[in-house]
Amino acid sequence: MVLLMTITRYPPHKQVEVQNKFFEIDSKYPYDETIMKRIVRLAVRVTPDGYEVVNIYDIPDGKFTEAFNRTASNLHEYSTIEGYTAEIRTYLSGAEAFKIIGKKIPE
């Protein structure tokens, strides 16, 4: 299993603009569980610099490229918002990481 995490940040004075963009593009990229399964959606925290939002998805085998491209396209929609930054991180599950070293993850 591969996990895909997005971390986005934006200044507080851009909150309404980000919110409006979210609702504008939500239908453009409808949720498709065959590509990515939500683990965490829209975990939000307030920082001294503004807002930080985290999403985490479980990517089914063979769907990574499609999930990554879809996520990158979605995040690109926000690129015109001043101060908005986005990051995509990928992680292996513990079981997948242990496979690399030829071991099985302890229970």
21-57 pLDDT tens trace = 999 998 888 889 999 999 999 999 999 999 999 999 9
Cα dihedral 34, 35, 39, 40 sign:
negative
Beta-carbon-side half-sphere exposure of residue 53 (alpha carbons within 13 Å) = 16
Asked if the model's pLDDT at residue 14 lies above 90, the reply is yes
Distance between CA atoms of residues 80 and 68, nearest Å: 20
Q: Give CA angle at 65 (3, 81), nearest 5°.
A: 80
53-98 pLDDT tens trace = 999 999 999 999 999 999 999 999 999 999 999 999 999 988 889 9
Distance between CA atoms of residues 63 and 80, nearest Å: 28
Asked if the model's pLDDT at residue 18 lies above 90, the reply is yes
Task: For the beta carbon of residue 85, count every other beta carbon within 10 angstroms.
Answer: 13
Which strands make up the sheet holding 85-92, listed edge to edge?
Answer: 37-47, 50-59, 2-10, 85-92
Summarize the confidence of residues 11-26 as an average pLDDT.
Answer: 95
Question: What pLDDT shows up at residue 20?
Answer: 96
| Domains of the chain listed by start with CATH number | 2-100 (3.30.70.100)
